[in-house]
Amino acid sequence: MKTRRKVLGGFFYFRLGYATYLAMVIGIINILTTSYFLAIQNVPTIQNVFPSFESYVVLVIIIGIPIVTFVGWLHFKRVGTFSAEAAVYAQAMPYNYKLDPGYQKEVYGPAYLAILRLNIKRATGEKLTEEEIKNIKHLEKELSKLIDGGYVGKPPKGVL
């Protein structure tokens, strides 16, 4: 299980690095070279505007970066595609339907359960047992650790 998780984690990092950085750089270089040497270089009218590849690259960067940034802003803020993507990811994420490992599973879930049980006992007039008091004090210590910036449970290697 640990080997499979490491392999899948490594694959995730590979995809992220490739798609975010390497593919972007290769894509930019590809679009600039192919558009200039296949389209602009063969059309004399356009070649008068861009006498060299370097001037074409500079102008495309000056105009292209603001346009692409604006399109990215539209994607997040105005068009609604990002919110649709986020809704799909939220629906597919298993931890939206169960407690996350870590502080939610180790502290918050048990604390909510203890509060619920305390309220039931209080409503029915029952007294707390020594075991229940011990569990509540343990939860109090764990919550104090979290408040102080500490860890609970078993954090994955590399987190600390």
| Separation of CA 55 from chain center | 38
* Residues 120 and 92 reside in one and the same domain: no
* Residues 66 and 39 reside in one and the same domain: no
154 is a domain residue: no
- Give the domain-ending residue among 11, 31, 47: 47
- Total domains, the chain: 3
Please write the tens of the pLDDT for every residue from 31-85. 999 999 998 888 888 888 888 999 999 999 999 999 999 998 998 888 888 888 8
Please write the tens of the pLDDT for every residue from 129-152. 899 889 889 888 988 888 888 888
Distance from C-alpha of 145 to C-alpha of 139, rounded to nearest angstrom: 10
* Residues 93 and 105 reside in one and the same domain: no
155 is a domain residue: no
Distance from C-alpha of 112 to C-alpha of 104, rounded to nearest angstrom: 10
Record the pTM.
0.52
* Residues 18 and 56 reside in one and the same domain: no
* Residues 104 and 137 reside in one and the same domain: yes
User: For 34, phi and psi rounded to 5 degrees?
Assistant: -70, -40
Note down the domain range covering 21. Answer: 1-47
Distance from C-alpha of 35 to C-alpha of 31, rounded to nearest angstrom: 6
* Residues 1 and 41 reside in one and the same domain: yes
